[in-house]
Structure 1
């Protein structure tokens, strides 16, 4: 591995944290704007018959499942975020793993974005509605989780090999 392809742990942490903070800001800003401008309003069509802005307070999980299980969602989110941080810490800090670092940051941002809402309000603010297919109302953090999940699957299938994940199983001393 060439020296120029590696990053210091500190630099990697700064980049990862910056990505997460930027994505969290975008998520929380859009939810705040939805709360201010869409709450108690009729849906606003952006593309009539296709895409609308519609304020919903989601007290469940994806698609409103398991409504009222706030502490379950908070617990799952905490465990998920701990796992992502653990993986980030163990991940080799080089350009080969940069797509995983970015994907992990996107997933982390989505989980924390909805976590903040659940802690602060007891529900998640959703406001994007694809009326064309009557898809459940969602938000920016949901987009992060779905796109991050899809990217992770594609990376695992097409880019990385099984041995590329050996870092998960080795002791730090073995490196």
Structure 2
């Protein structure tokens, strides 16, 4: 008889199963019952944690992003920190962003959200560290750092990936940072 999963191990198994269902069938065919079956558990176990498929899908995406966490660079300059972070996201997440955009189209339509809503919160925490450091070094005026300005380079990177279905070339990342983002801060 298999060992009974509990706590964090059970939650990980449920989120892994939810992610596998999303990746295999997309949100349109994503059901709580399919996740229950894939995880080898019972409906009450799943519903105690997530009340519906939209909440579970959001949790599964967050789980995958947490597992593939990108380290926040500290190069000593805002420009290099932002470029380094964008390059890492571009290198490790381009396929993920493209596939999930297609698989989650129904989720966005059903919940009235978009890719920025789902992915931005994860990037915001890391990016806030970069901006706090830049403010402390005197590189930028904190008054110029609205949430939209802080998210801009990452939003443009996501847009580039979704338009081209490929990682952005390095010269595009530099153009985003040097000709669009940094001028907003000076």
TM-score (norm 1): 0.29
More strand by share: 1
More helix by share: 2
TM-score (norm 2): 0.27
